[in-house]
Amino acid sequence: TKKCKASVNSNMIDGRMANPHAAFHERQAIAGRATPFLGGGAMTVTIYHNPRCSKSRTTLALLQSRGIEPAIRLYLDEPPSAARLDEILKLLDLEPRALMRRQEPPYKEAGLDDPALTRKQLIAAMVQHPILIERPIVVVEKRGHKKAALGRPPEAALDIL
């Protein structure tokens, strides 16, 4: 386990994290809490996050610097469902391959470059191998309307706020 500087004692055992991702999971607990919207009202913000990815960390920090505490989904540990991923793709106005990390080994190993594969098959592959999902993805919901952005560059996430 990793040492943690967090002051949250519930996840600490002898000064060590009981779960190295505990800080991220604790932030998930606020998923239902609305964040003040820059234009008034309230919104819910979710980031599909990989803490090992610099773009993902930068996007999260950028949101937090604006006073937004998003629900953090560690998608490598808990991939989105096929239905949720399909919804995100529609919000992004992208086809599955445009959101796939094609340099990852599972892409070639599973033959995902085959043009005969359907949207449903590609989404299923992304759920089965979440490392294939480009990150970070930020989803914002306000008054029942949803928007999504790929945080590449990280500032792109600010466009949907």
Q: For position 149, what pLDDT does the model report?
A: 98
Instruction: Indicate if the pLDDT at residue 22 is higher than 80.
Output: no
Average pLDDT of the residues in 86-91: 98
| 54 or 38: which leads in pLDDT | 54
Q: Which of 30, 53, 110, 124 is catalytic?
A: 53
**pTM of the predicted protein model:** 0.76
Residue 12 backbone phi and psi in degrees, to 5: -105, 140
User: 120 is written with which tokens?
Assistant: 């449903």
pLDDT confidence bin for 27, thresholds 50/70/90: very low
In the annotation, is 53 catalytic?
yes
Average pLDDT of the residues in 132-144: 96
Q: How many CB atoms lie within 10 A of CB 108?
A: 11
The DSSP line for 26-90 is HHHTTTTSPEEPTTSSEEEEEEEE-TT-HHHHHHHHHHHHTT--PEEEETTTSPPPHHHHHHHHH
pLDDT confidence bin for 42, thresholds 50/70/90: confident
Q: For position 84, what pLDDT does the model report?
A: 98
Kind and range of the H or E element at 20? none
Instruction: Indicate if the pLDDT at residue 32 is higher than 80.
Output: no
Contact 141, 41 (CB under 8 A): no
- What digits encode the pLDDT tens for the residues 94-119? 999 999 999 999 999 999 999 999 99
Question: Before 36, cis peptide (omega within 30)?
Answer: no
CA–CA separation, 3 vs 153, rounded Å? Answer: 31
pLDDT more than 70, % of the chain: 75
